[in-house]
Structure 1
Amino acid sequence: MSSNQVIVRQYGNIAEDKTAGLLGFSMASTVVLGVGSVLVFLFIMASQIWVAAGVAVAAFIVATVLGSKDRNGRSKPERWIARGMFSRTEKKNRTTYKAGPTSQIPDSSFRAPGVLAATEPVSFTDLFDHHGVMLWHPKLKTGTVFVIANSSGLGLLDQDRVDRMVGTWAAFQRDAGSNTELVQVSVTTQSTTDPGERLPDAVAVGRAQAGSQSVPAFARATMD
């Protein structure tokens, strides 16, 4: 084996959330199975085998229903509860968002809908003289700042560059964990449909950066 073999690091800890229950069941299903097991044991001690068998089957069915999840991660009881709550809210005409003069908010302001209705936008300037907007919750005394970061796009990344990026992100997480006033840092990945303008814009930027430098004809043909 050659001593110059390059070892490529594999980064990433992306994994599905595991349930907190027993044998893959949810916590609610585990509680149902636990209660059912106790009842089955009591009925067996009382020599009521058929009742114990019925309780075991019923507990397993209820646990399966509680543990079943849809593509959004909701179980059937959760969907039933959400559907019932929305139906009651719809009957009270509270499902339509109205802002401004027609708003049901006392001050008739233009606020964000849903859980963000209690927040208000606040503009700020950071230490690097960058302007931004923060969502401030007056009652909870908590603010939310959104930081937008884009991928590398058409640029190719070598292993050293990837290592530096991962190390920088790890350092950011370490510093965030040492800040007692910081409640949470979360990452949201969004993908949008390409309108067809990004690639020509990227090519134009590359050509502008090249300027008057001599570019091989093959490179220009490839970009075209």
Structure 2
Amino acid sequence: MSSEAVVHPTYGNWRRPRRPGLGPFGLVGTFGVFGGLVLALLVSLISLVAALFVLVPVVVFLVPLTIRTQDGRNLYQLMALRIGWIRRKAKGATTYTSGPLSQRPGGRFHPPGLLNGVSVDEGRDAYDRPFGVLHHAGRNLYTIVLGCEPDGGSLVDPDQVDVWVAAWGEWLARLSHEPGLRGATVVVETAPDPGTRLANEVLDRIQPDAPPAARAVMEEVVQRYPAASSEMHTYITLTYSPASGQKRDREGVITDLAIRIPGLLSGLVGAGGGSAAPLSAERIAEVVRVAYDPAVAGDVLSVRARHGGTGLQWDDAGPAAAVETVSAYQHDSGVSRTWLLTLAPRGTVRSNVLRGLLEAAPGTRRKRVALLYRPIDPATSARIVEADRRAAQFMATSGRGMVQARAASEVRAAEQTAAEEASGAGLVEFSLMLTVTVDSAAQLADASVTVRNMQAAARISLRPADRMQAAAFCCTLPVGVLPWEHVLIPHELQEAL
């Protein structure tokens, strides 16, 4: 007889992109250091006092670049965030009202903030299924939303989970070859089950002449079952931009997206996504409506079950009133707080590392976990992995004496990444955002404790999105809002800082 040890697959090897430049200065700070030294040396040929007057402002400019938070932000970025908050608050942009009694034209409940300039069209794919297309007019971006019902990892063999993870990685790698794709988002939304679907399925089928005991049992099941259950929805958004130099109307873009949907859905099914289908414009409006007003979730489910649809339009999916504060976002019947990822799990992890984070949180009205992906084209991926490989080797060999363990680990990780990229793997930048919605501001303290416990179990580090709660709330909705597309400073310049 022989026994074989069970090997559980592990995953990892993600790395934060190394910032170019000298130490904590970044590329801009490095140019400032050398430029200031050269200028001071030239001025010192004339007068040492004049050189001192030149050197002092340079030092004052460079010191804030060396002071950074855990997620890499320097003092200039923190100051810009506070100044932007003060300006928005002075202009009254932190308060939003809509509806017939507001000053908004049209008298409808249009979504606020980053969704203010979004319009929705609808098309049909190759299987004649309706799908909604969100047009972000400010950035000329088009978003489609796919809904799926993942199979889950309970009672599933580790080998099957490993196959799903490999298929998901292949699907993400394919995104870098999608023409015009700017980013993708996976949103997992959980909420307590209101019991509406169960009541509609059971109560309407009870016969009038049923025994009283059987009727009482079924009514008790309908009443008590939702207290211990939750509903979970998974949405995947894909945001495209028309090819540069080509002027295409909306109908042409919608036709192009309709051709791509079947191939995208087949990849999701192979990655354990279960039954997947595109979301219609009405379903997208319903998701946004419930997110801004969680109290109507049961009504939306009930109307959809009885009439087959709600008839809700995008222009009526927003809140009647919303107020943004430093650490929270209040909207209709809910108060939300959003957290941003600052540190991914270090080392190797198993496939269930995020399971506790994705499950329903007790004491909350709704919870959304958004995984944001920014695919990188193959040419840029090759340059990045080679640059990281050279930087890791330089850091490992430039130290005195024995090479440190962390430097050696970075070298191995960089070599593995370069080898995988050369064999055809894709390179994707990713992040995570978490939004928790409760009934009142007094419950936010308990929600914060719950989030701290969940992030500890998931081995990640999160920070509240203070002074940008409204924008962060929109980023966790399945509407295709990509944070890097809505910044004043370009992404490349931010990396240089």
Indicate whether the TM-score tops 0.5. Answer: yes
1:216 is matched with none
2:184 partner SS: coil
User: Normalized against structure 2, the TM-score is what?
Assistant: 0.32
1:222 is matched with none
- With over 3 angstroms needed to count, the CA separation of the structure-2 counterparts of 1:117 and 1:146, relative to structure 1, is same
Deviations 1:37-74 (A, max 9, x none): 22233245x17556656755653443231343345654
1:66 is matched with 65
Distance 1:63 1:182 in 2: 37
Distance 1:40 1:138 in 2: 48
1:185 partner SS: strand
Aligned amino acid, residue 22 of structure 1: L
Q: Quick check: 1:14 aligned with 2:14?
A: yes
2:35 is matched with 35
Q: CA deviation at 1:200?
A: 4.9
1:207 is matched with none
Contact 2:135 2:141 (C-alpha < 8 Å) held by counterparts: yes
- With over 3 angstroms needed to count, the CA separation of the structure-2 counterparts of 1:102 and 1:28, relative to structure 1, is farther
Q: CA deviation at 1:119?
A: 0.3
Distance 1:125 1:149 in 2: 18
Q: CA deviation at 1:21?
A: 2.8
Contact 1:119 1:137 (C-alpha < 8 Å) held by counterparts: yes
Deviations 1:73-126 (A, max 9, x none): 543223333333333333333331121235554444422222221002445565
Aligned amino acid, residue 16 of structure 2: E
Structure having the higher Rg: 1
Distance 2:102 2:80 in 1: 27
Contact 1:134 1:144 (C-alpha < 8 Å) held by counterparts: yes
Aligned amino acid, residue 93 of structure 1: G
Distance 2:163 2:76 in 1: 46
- With over 3 angstroms needed to count, the CA separation of the structure-2 counterparts of 1:177 and 1:8, relative to structure 1, is same
Q: CA deviation at 1:17?
A: 3.9
Distance 1:75 1:192 in 2: 35
**Unaligned segments of structure 1, at least 5 residues:** 203-224
- With over 3 angstroms needed to count, the CA separation of the structure-2 counterparts of 1:84 and 1:182, relative to structure 1, is closer
Deviations 1:5-45 (A, max 9, x none): 7765432233334323322323332232232222233245x
**Higher strand fraction: Structure 1 or Structure 2?**
2
Q: Which moved more, 1:164-173 or 1:179-188?
A: 179-188
Contact 1:136 1:142 (C-alpha < 8 Å) held by counterparts: yes
Contact 1:100 1:110 (C-alpha < 8 Å) held by counterparts: yes
Distance 1:133 1:151 in 2: 21
2:244 is matched with none
Q: CA deviation at 1:129?
A: 6.8
Aligned amino acid, residue 25 of structure 1: F
Q: CA deviation at 1:161?
A: 1.7
Contact 2:21 2:30 (C-alpha < 8 Å) held by counterparts: yes
2:10 partner SS: coil
Instruction: Give % identity.
Output: 25
1:97 partner SS: strand
Contact 2:192 2:227 (C-alpha < 8 Å) held by counterparts: no
- With over 3 angstroms needed to count, the CA separation of the structure-2 counterparts of 1:52 and 1:155, relative to structure 1, is farther
Aligned residues: 197
1:86 is matched with 85
- With over 3 angstroms needed to count, the CA separation of the structure-2 counterparts of 1:164 and 1:153, relative to structure 1, is closer
User: Normalized against structure 1, the TM-score is what?
Assistant: 0.62
Distance 1:80 1:133 in 2: 39
2:93 partner SS: coil
- With over 3 angstroms needed to count, the CA separation of the structure-2 counterparts of 1:17 and 1:175, relative to structure 1, is closer
Aligned amino acid, residue 65 of structure 2: L
Distance 1:99 1:73 in 2: 38
2:200 is matched with none
Distance 2:49 2:26 in 1: 27
2:177 is matched with 178
Q: Which moved more, 1:86-95 or 1:151-160?
A: 151-160
1:18 partner SS: coil
Distance 2:125 2:133 in 1: 11
Distance 1:54 1:121 in 2: 58
RMSD over aligned Cα, in angstroms? 4.1
**Unaligned segments of structure 2, at least 5 residues:** 194-224, 231-497
- With over 3 angstroms needed to count, the CA separation of the structure-2 counterparts of 1:13 and 1:157, relative to structure 1, is farther
Contact 2:192 2:229 (C-alpha < 8 Å) held by counterparts: no
Aligned amino acid, residue 10 of structure 1: T
Distance 2:186 2:54 in 1: 45
Q: CA deviation at 1:132?
A: 5.4
Contact 2:24 2:65 (C-alpha < 8 Å) held by counterparts: no
Q: Which moved more, 1:8-17 or 1:33-42?
A: 8-17
Aligned amino acid, residue 76 of structure 1: L
Distance 1:58 1:159 in 2: 59
- With over 3 angstroms needed to count, the CA separation of the structure-2 counterparts of 1:59 and 1:99, relative to structure 1, is same
